[in-house]
Amino acid sequence: MSQLPNLFSQLVYDLVARIPEGRVITYGRIARSIGYPNNARRVGNAMRHTPDDLFLPTWRVVNAEGRTAPGWDDQRRLLELEGVPFNEKGRVDLNHCLWSPDEDDNR
C-alpha cells in the first residue's frame, strides 16, 4: 500500500526537484549523477511511480534521444509552455535545453 521511497528513489526525487523551468534532463544522466550509472531504467520506473503529493516536475525528464514518455502526450505541451522547443520529429533539442546538476553546484 504505502509506497515509502527507498534511498535510490529519494536521490532521484531530490534531483528532479531541482530541474529548472524550461530545462530538461535524461534518465541516464540522473542515474549517473546520483551514483548509479547503470540504472537508467530504474530512474524511469521511479518516475512512473512518483507520488503525486511530491509535486515534482516529472515532465522535465526525457530520454537520451529527447523523446517524451510513451503514452503521456501532455508532457510535450507542458514543456512547450515553459519555452522548450521541439524539432519537427517531436524531440527536444538536448543541445540547447539539457540541464546539468553540476551547473549550479552551490552546495
- Name the strand (E) or helix (H) holding 104: none
- Is residue 27 within 8 Å of residue 48, measured between CB atoms? no
Where helices occur in the chain by DSSP H, the ranges are: 7-16, 27-33, 40-48, 74-81, 94-97
92 touching DNA, by CB under 7 A = no
CA distance 2 to 32: 28
Candidates 28, 33, 86, 98: give the one binding DNA (CB under 7 A). 28
Instruction: Considering the complex, state which of residue 65 and residue 103 has its C-beta at the smaller distance from DNA.
Output: 65
Shortest Å, Cβ 77 to DNA: 14
Q: Compare residues 2 and 106 and give the one whose CB is closer to DNA.
A: 2
Which residue ranges make up the site for DNA (CB under 7 A)? 6, 26-29, 38-45, 47-48, 50, 58-59, 61, 63-65, 67, 69-72, 75, 89
